[in-house]
Structure 1
Amino acid sequence: MEISDKLKLLGDRTRLTILGLLKDKEWCVCDLVEILNMSQPGVSQHLRKLKAQGIVNETRRGQWVYYSLNVEDKPYIQAVLDELPDTQTLLSLLKPNYTPADCD
């Protein structure tokens, strides 16, 4: 049942996109808000669900929270992520002229 709960989260396009972006590096919430063109509470809600299932880690730096993948022990999720485009491809599709925000 635990695996099905985790995989169910990947059925949401936004969460799947977030995980695709996290494949190559950690991201600050402020960057994800800009890239996804969503409100900060909306992005945080998706990240909260992923964190609750142990799929992402969070690290607080000042007022910002940074997220990274936590899938080393979840090969079934890693297999899904392996099929997603790399970060640069996702960025070019979502925000062609994106430059990282100054979150500090």
Structure 2
Amino acid sequence: MELSTLEIEKAATILKLLGDKTRLSMLKMLDSHDYCVCEFVEIFKVSQPAISQHVRKLKDAGLVRETRRGQWIIYSLNKENDVYPFIQSLIHHLPNQDFKLKELEQQGLRISCN
């Protein structure tokens, strides 16, 4: 589905979902790197259940997918979703969030899933 044919209702649902600063930040971050929930917990300084709730909402909307690597569940942006071009056009305008990952690495909190 192209951006021009994206239904208004679907767009409104996505925009409502991304109206939350944490979820919007997560999507921007996932555009360049994959993350584990525990990394998001450290970055956003909120509880694991709260982060899991945010991730679940993004996953239920098909915007995020999960992959199991050993004991870890790694989340990535679902670039194959039919609304990805719409998402990409939105997050393109957001400031880069890679500094958050660098801060995690400096604190020794970046998860190594290899």
Report if the CA contact (8 A) 2:36-2:111 is conserved. Answer: no
Whether 1:55 and 2:63 are equivalent positions in the alignment is yes
TM-score using structure 2 length = 0.76
Segments of structure 1 that go 5 or more residues without pairing to the other structure are: none
Aligned length: 102
Distance 1:57 1:35, change over 3 A: same
TM-score using structure 1 length = 0.82
Q: Distance in 2 between matches of 1:99 and 1:80?
A: 31
1:49 Cα deviation after fit: 0.2
Whether 1:101 and 2:100 are equivalent positions in the alignment is no
Q: Which SS does the other structure have where 1:35 is aligned?
A: helix
**How much is the aligned-residue C-alpha RMSD, in angstroms?**
2.3
Most deviating of 71-80 and 39-48: 71-80
- One-letter amino acid of the structure 1 residue matched with residue 73 of structure 2: V
User: Any runs of at least 4 consecutive aligned residues in structure 1 with deviations exceeding 6 A, and if so which?
Assistant: none
CA radius of gyration, larger in: 2
Q: Distance in 1 between matches of 2:37 and 2:77?
A: 14
Q: Distance in 2 between matches of 1:13 and 1:64?
A: 25
Report if the CA contact (8 A) 1:30-1:103 is conserved. Answer: no
